[in-house]
């Protein structure tokens, strides 16, 4: 074990002949206390928790941890200690980034669950770690307890992956599942999620796709070897999704999920986080509540599925402890090293798919003719028109599905369409990801 060779290390040898690895914890919230619990309870491990660093640490102290643990508010106490691995589960961008940098510079490896930080400066931190002969692992930063980072990086290292698709945000999945199964509105489902603690008071990070986008950037880097900025990926909110959309989706043999998708084609990376229709027979459709699921597709091995608990203290803590163990064995489950250099593709959201257009109109004769004319001018073929019976004429929902074409063509047509006087609200436009996302 690399770290144990350091002069300041207090590493000792356990009964089973393995060197002890000293662990310092930055952050003692839900995940932090779960990490402490696992480190304290799990048998046969060579990991020893030595420091816990948190603001107002006096209020955080618990009586179920060994009395010799140092509780502190000062990062300096950790930096000058014999800790081999610093575990960052405090979140946020600052002072977190500084503390991670200082830890690496102090000759400590780092394990972090911080998706925003890693998606923004993972490559930088990895270089810094290498420079100091340390490692930085971030398996917990995506999909909590689902071991997808190590799966892509190690288990599927022999493949040439070109596509990653998944449900990466449990909050969105919970809200959409609720709208689907209880027929409630988005607002009601969101309130319910907030009441249960599944959604924040400001839910934008989740429902607008920013959270999933950061995770997708990390997966694209680890699995597709593409260095992309999270901001380069188009996000669309799930807020306009209504229970009527699930009725229509079901009639098409589909459901609606927030899908994070990145697909490498030549020098282009097609990437987006958006609500989309997926077939009911796809593994993506059966993800319920706050579960996460990631599907990767490789040239040789085809599709592989990873699923499990995407959030929660204990599942996330499992990912953190797995990373500590890996780092302790002098390994990283992080970004691939020189073996497979990172590509820098052009990022676009201009997927070619079938499309779902849901209109709410003030009914009058000629609407379909009007829409069909604009679509045909855009060289877009209508696949089907569906109208649910029994709706008020002043607020009439109906559906047009389109044959396969580029999203940009549809968006151009919708710019004209949304200005038409019979439109009660802007058209809801979702891609239909059918026939291409099966694990079968």
Q: Which stretch binds a copy of itself (CB under 8 A): 55-63, 147-155, 409-417, 422-430?
A: 147-155
CA trace torsion 415, 420, 422, 424 (10° rounding): 40
Helix H or strand E encompassing 398: strand 396-406
Triad 194, 196, 199: Cα angle to 5°: 35
Question: For the window 155-194, what string marks contact with a copy of itself as x by the rule CB under 8 A?
Answer: xxxxxx----------------------------------
Q: Binding to a copy of itself (CB under 8 A): which residues in 67-106?
A: none
Return the residues of window 214-273 that contact a copy of itself according to CB under 8 A.
none
How far is the C-alpha of 279 from the C-alpha of 277, rounded, in Å?
7
DSSP H or E stretch at residue 124 = helix 115-131
Evaluate whether 361 touches 371 at the Cβ level (below 8 Å): no
Cβ of 291: how many Cβ atoms within 10 Å? 20
Q: Write out the H or E segment, with its range, that includes residue 291.
A: strand 291-298
- Judged by CB under 8 A, the number of residues near a copy of itself is 65
Among 77, 97, 105, 154, binds a copy of itself (CB under 8 A): 154
Stretch near a copy of itself under the rule CB under 8 A, chosen from 142-150, 201-209, 391-399, 406-414: 142-150
Longest dimension (CA), the chain: 83
Q: Are strands 352-361 and 423-432 parallel, antiparallel or unpaired?
A: antiparallel
Tokens linked to 150: 């190590």
| Cα–Cα distance, 376 to 78 (Å, whole number) | 66
Among 110, 167, 262, 317, binds a copy of itself (CB under 8 A): 317
C-beta closer to a copy of itself: residue 320 or 428: 320
Nearest approach in angstroms of CB 173 to a copy of itself is: 11
- Euclidean distance between CA atoms 69 and 62, whole angstroms: 11
Pick from 11, 18, 121, 386 the residue near a copy of itself by CB under 8 A. Answer: 18
Do residues 298 and 159 make contact, with C-beta atoms less than 8 angstroms apart?
A: yes
147 binds a copy of itself (CB under 8 A): yes
Using the 8-state DSSP alphabet, how is residue 256 labeled? E
321 binds a copy of itself (CB under 8 A): yes
Q: Which of 119, 333, 348, 401 binds a copy of itself (CB under 8 A)?
A: 333
Segment 36-55, which members bind a copy of itself (CB under 8 A)?
Answer: 38, 41-46
Q: If binding is defined by CB under 8 A, does position 34 make contact with a copy of itself? A: yes
Which residues are bridge partners to 423 per DSSP?
361
331 is catalytic: no
Residue from 76, 229, 288, 418 touching a copy of itself (CB under 8 A): that is 288
Q: Which stretch binds a copy of itself (CB under 8 A): 68-76, 189-197, 310-318, 425-433?
A: 310-318
Q: Which two tokens stand for residue 417?
A: 């369409």
- 352 within 8 A of 404, measured Cβ to Cβ: yes
Nearest approach, Cβ of residue 337 and a copy of itself (Å)? 8
Pairing assessment for the beta strands 47-53 and 70-72 based on DSSP bridges: parallel
Query: Interface with a copy of itself by CB under 8 A: which range of 48-56, 60-68, 331-339, 415-423?
Result: 331-339
Cα 398 to Cα 427: distance, rounded to the nearest angstrom: 10
Closest CB 15 distance from a copy of itself, rounded Å? 10
- Does 196 sit near a copy of itself (CB under 8 A)? no
CB of 29 to a copy of itself, least distance (A): 16
Q: Is 71 helix (H, G, I), strand (E, B) or coil?
A: strand
Question: 155 or 240, CB closer to a copy of itself?
Answer: 155
Q: Read off the tokens for 30.
A: 């839900």
Does the footprint of a copy of itself cover residue 145 (CB under 8 A)?
Answer: yes
Measure the CA–CA gap between 391 and 396, rounded to whole angstroms. Answer: 6
Two tokens, residue 382: 């209508």
> Could you tell me the smallest distance in angstroms from the CB atom of residue 134 to a copy of itself?
17
- Out of 215, 343, 388, 440, pick the active-site residue: 215
**CA-based nearest residue to 110, from 305, 324, 288, 256:** 324
* Least distance from a copy of itself to the Cβ atom of residue 167, Å: 12
Selected range binding a copy of itself among 196-204, 309-317, 396-404, 428-436, rule: CB under 8 A = 309-317
Determine which residue in the list 82, 91, 240, 298 makes contact with a copy of itself, applying CB under 8 A.
Answer: 298
Residue ranges binding a copy of itself (CB under 8 A): 16-18, 34, 38, 41-46, 139, 145-151, 154-160, 281, 283, 286, 288-289, 291, 293, 298, 300-309, 314-315, 317-326, 329, 331, 333, 338-341, 439-440
Q: Indicate which residues carry an active-site annotation.
A: 215
């Amino acid at each position: 074990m690399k770290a144990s060779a350091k002069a300041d290390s207090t590493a000792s040898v356990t009964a089973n002949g393995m060197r002890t690895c000293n662990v310092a914890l930055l952050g003692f919230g839900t995940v932090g206390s779960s990490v402490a619990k696992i480190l304290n309870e799990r048998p046969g491990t060579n990991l020893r928790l030595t420091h816990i660093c948190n603001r107002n640490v006096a209020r955080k102290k618990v009586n179920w941890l060994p009395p010799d643990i140092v509780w502190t508010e000062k990062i300096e106490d950790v930096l000058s200690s014999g800790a081999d691995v610093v575990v960052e589960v405090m979140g946020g961008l600052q002072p977190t980034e500084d503390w991670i940098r200082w830890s690496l510079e102090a000759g400590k490896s780092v394990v972090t669950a911080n998706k925003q930080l890693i998606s923004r400066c993972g490559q930088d931190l990895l270089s810094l770690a290498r420079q100091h002969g340390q490692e930085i692992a971030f398996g917990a930063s995506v999909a909590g307890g689902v071991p997808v980072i190590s799966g892509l990086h190690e288990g599927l290292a022999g493949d040439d992956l070109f596509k990653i698709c998944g449900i990466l945000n449990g909050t969105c999945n919970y809200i959409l599942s609720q709208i689907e199964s209880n027929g409630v509105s988005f607002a009601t489902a969101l309130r319910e999620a907030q009441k249960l603690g599944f959604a924040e008071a400001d839910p934008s990070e989740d429902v607008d796709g920013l959270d999933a986008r950061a995770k997708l950037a990390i997966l694209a880097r680890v699995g597709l070897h593409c260095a992309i900025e999270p901001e380069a990926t188009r996000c669309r909110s799930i807020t306009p999704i209504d229970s009527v959309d699930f009725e229509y989706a079901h009639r098409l043999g589909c459901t609606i999920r927030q899908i994070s998708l990145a697909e490498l084609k030549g020098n282009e990376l097609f990437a987006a986080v958006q609500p989309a229709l997926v077939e009911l027979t796809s593994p993506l459709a059966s993800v319920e509540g706050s579960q996460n699921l990631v599907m990767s597709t490789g040239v040789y091995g085809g599709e592989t599925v990873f699923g499990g608990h995407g959030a929660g203290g204990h599942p996330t803590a499992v990912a953190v402890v797995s990373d500590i163990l890996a780092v302790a064995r002098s390994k990283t489950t992080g970004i691939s090293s020189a073996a497979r250099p990172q590509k820098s593709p052009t990022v676009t959201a201009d997927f070619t798919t079938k499309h779902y257009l849901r209109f709410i109109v003030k009914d009058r004769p000629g609407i379909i003719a009007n829409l069909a004319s604009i679509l045909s001018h855009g060289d877009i073929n209508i696949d089907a028109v569906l109208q649910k019976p029994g709706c008020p004429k002043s607020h009439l929902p109906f559906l047009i599905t389109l044959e396969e074409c580029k999203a940009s063509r549809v968006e151009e047509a919708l710019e004209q369409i949304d200005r038409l006087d019979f439109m009660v609200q802007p058209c809801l436009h979702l891609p239909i990801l059918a026939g291409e996302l099966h694990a079968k």
